[in-house]
Structure 1
Amino acid sequence: MREVVKFPVLPAISGIDFSGPADVCSLVRERFRSMFGVQEDAFIGAYMQATEDFFEGRFPEYQPMDTAYHDISHTLQATLCLSELLSNRHYEQTEPQIGVHDFKRTLLAILFHDIGYLKTRDDTEGTGAKYTNVHEKRSSKVAREYLQGRGWPEDDIVFVQNLISATGPLADLTEISFRGEIERAMGQAVCSADYVGQMSDPSYPDKLAVLFEEFEECFRYQGLPRSEWPFPSYEALLRGTPDFWSRFVHYKMNVECARAWEYLEHPVIGENPYLESIEHNMAIIRGRISQLDSQSSHTG
């Protein structure tokens, strides 16, 4: 067994700068090297630079990302969570084992999983949040265009697209036509990292307000009457979040994703900073719900 000092330990999530790629790039490289030894890892920085270029509007076809919740911080949180999961999984020698090529394709998928929120240059209505219900399909399309332009083989492009499809808000991973066990395992890992990465954000309780605004824009764009919205107000979203975590997310992680999230527990020291952070966030959210109940009882 490797010594603790030789196996990467995640720093405090609250101390990581997710506003740009630098911190996350360094941490992902550390995990990649722990998995595969001395390997050429320039692709990690290149993929993250391409992602930042999309978000900053440096590609001629697209405007800068204008969604308040699904910003580059969200993508980088999911990316680091994925690399932690894959590193720990690799340490445990879990089957099917992945190689460098699988790591590259999976990393690209998590980095590009939300670029479907981007608006084209001629799209002047609202923000990219209006595409919430179809963003994973749009992400797959943008990823295909980007990868084809860089000579990626069709098999690799489809691999990336299938992993992106696993992150859709209505995705059922048991119904996705994964073409092999590695592709399925990586789809489960990407889905797990997408949920856990964002919900472990120390700012998650405060970000629920802008998340609701994104949902609201999407519902209005679809023409849904408020009576058909899953949550008609920010307060309804806030009140529903603990159950969303304990029921919906737990089911998706344990059943659809085959408990891949269990690899977020460090295999050497046994800590799971991601779940600890989420439980802390849920405690904050429950406290805010209690405050609302108290205010309601006093005004009622």
Structure 2
Amino acid sequence: MPAGINNSGIFIAVSFIIFSEKYVSKKNYPAQINGISDAGDCNSLCILGPFQFIISLTGNGICPYIVPGESEYSLQCVPGDRRMKNSTEKLIQLVNIEDPDCVLKEVKFILLSMNSDFSTKNIENVFQDIIMLFQGKYQGYQACNTEYHDLRHTLEVFLATSRLIHGALIDGRLISEKMINIGIISALMHDTGYSQTLDDVNGTGAKYTVSHILRSIEFCTKYFAGSPSYGGDLNSFRDILLCTGFTDRIEGIKFSSPEVETVGKILGAADLLGQMADRLYLEKLLYLYHEFKDAGIAGFENEYDLLKKTVTFYGQSLNRMEKDLSGVHKHMKSHFRVRWGLDRNLYIDSIENNIDYLKYIIQQDDYMSFLKRGGIVQKLKKSRLEAL
């Protein structure tokens, strides 16, 4: 049970399903299905549906989804009101991104809500292999040593991609079950290019920053070579993965179908949304500076310079999502409305909170003292002392 919730607390999520004509008329993709899910902290039992509010029988008003060890971030419930305060914490309180099992359970729940007969077997198999890859347990590969492009980031993109696909279907886009599988698996594969083989002993995976997308495509191609399920879809995987290149021109990709293009753009948007909405985003930018430094990428004098230029990057990211990626990020709002009863894009809310805070701290003399999450600043300071 998470910190901040006493043992006598019983929380019931009461769901009301309202089927609109739009949902029930969509073949193979019915409205949100009632079910039991332990998304969140993986211990709290909730009955989930599209429109829900939280009732605390203890009367203390604290919701069950809180950051372990950080009770000051607890969401406060307003009786009869589905809204939650402190939106910067909302995403991790809905699903604990730090627990791979929780993330997988939520993705499966989303997929089954789109189609109760959806087979998640292939996604689950790839998911387990990717976890092993990052942990150094996948044959022939070292553990991940890039601290910005880490397992957490891949889980964020995996979840964000699933949510966007869900929202896209709600909004009337047509995506087959096969292509949904390919898109979500591509999310799991999208940063495998940072991984180093056992005999690659020089430097870190960050040295592959420039080439990591092509390396991810290569990993994916080898992984599915001869596969009866996806051996014939390697071009689709390639084109979808190419959409994660921030400076790559989407119009230069010759997509095999509009469906592949849609899913590729969804992954491209999910990659941006997932990382920038992370509650550790600002702290992890310090890691990103060192990854760029290891890769020999110029343009940033120091950690502070990268933080300062991230404000501009945010504007560029919005422009890319609106234009190059055809605004598919807007489908996220429909997902949260149907899944959680929140008629907002929580990713954009969280990103704006991050950027607003960033604008504040870069004006401060001791900007590092404002980056308190995840113990990242302390870890970097310790590494510097050890290097002396």
- TM above 0.5, yes or no, is yes
**2:149 corresponds to which residue?**
70
Alignment of 1:217-236 (within 5 A): 217-219=294-296, 229-236=298-305
Alignment of 1:86-165 (within 5 A): 86-94=165-173, 97-148=174-225, 150-165=227-242
Alignment of 1:204-219 (within 5 A): 204-219=281-296
1:43 equivalent to 2:108? Answer no
**1:6 corresponds to which residue?**
49
- In the alignment, the residues of structure 1 paired with residue 218 and residue 51 of structure 2 have an alpha-carbon distance, to the nearest angstrom, of 35
**1:289 corresponds to which residue?**
362
- In terms of Rg, which structure is larger? 2
Which structure features the higher share of strand residues?
Answer: 2
Match of 2:343 among 270, 277, 283: 270
- The aligned amino acid for 1:116 is G
- In the alignment, the residues of structure 1 paired with residue 92 and residue 100 of structure 2 have an alpha-carbon distance, to the nearest angstrom, of 16
- In the alignment, the residues of structure 1 paired with residue 274 and residue 359 of structure 2 have an alpha-carbon distance, to the nearest angstrom, of 20
> Aligned residues, how many?
283
Query: Greater relative contact order: 1 or 2 (C-alpha under 8 angstroms, separation 6 or more)?
Result: 1
- In the alignment, the residues of structure 1 paired with residue 136 and residue 49 of structure 2 have an alpha-carbon distance, to the nearest angstrom, of 39
**2:267 corresponds to which residue?**
190
Contact 2:361–2:367 at 8 Å: present in 1 too?
A: no
Contact 1:110–1:190 at 8 Å: present in 2 too?
A: yes
C-alpha change, 1:283 and 1:126, in structure 2 (3 Å) is: same
How far is 1:293 from its partner?
9.4
C-alpha change, 1:70 and 1:138, in structure 2 (3 Å) is: same
How far is 1:153 from its partner?
4.5
**1:298 corresponds to which residue?**
none
Contact 1:31–1:84 at 8 Å: present in 2 too?
A: yes
Query: What SS does the corresponding residue of 2:362 show, helix, strand or coil?
Result: helix
Provide, for residues 92-119 of structure 1, a one-character-per-residue CA deviation record: whole Å limited to 9, x for no partner.
212xx01111111111111000000001
C-alpha change, 1:167 and 1:24, in structure 2 (3 Å) is: same
C-alpha change, 1:145 and 1:155, in structure 2 (3 Å) is: same
Match of 2:323 among 229, 245, 255: 255
- The aligned amino acid for 2:192 is I
How far is 1:40 from its partner?
2.7
- In the alignment, the residues of structure 2 paired with residue 122 and residue 25 of structure 1 have an alpha-carbon distance, to the nearest angstrom, of 31
- The aligned amino acid for 2:188 is L
C-alpha change, 1:71 and 1:149, in structure 2 (3 Å) is: farther
Contact 1:7–1:34 at 8 Å: present in 2 too?
A: no
Runs of 5+ unmatched residues, structure 2? 1-19, 24-30, 33-47, 53-64, 66-89, 369-388
Runs of 5+ unmatched residues, structure 1? 296-300
C-alpha change, 1:151 and 1:62, in structure 2 (3 Å) is: farther
**2:107 corresponds to which residue?**
28
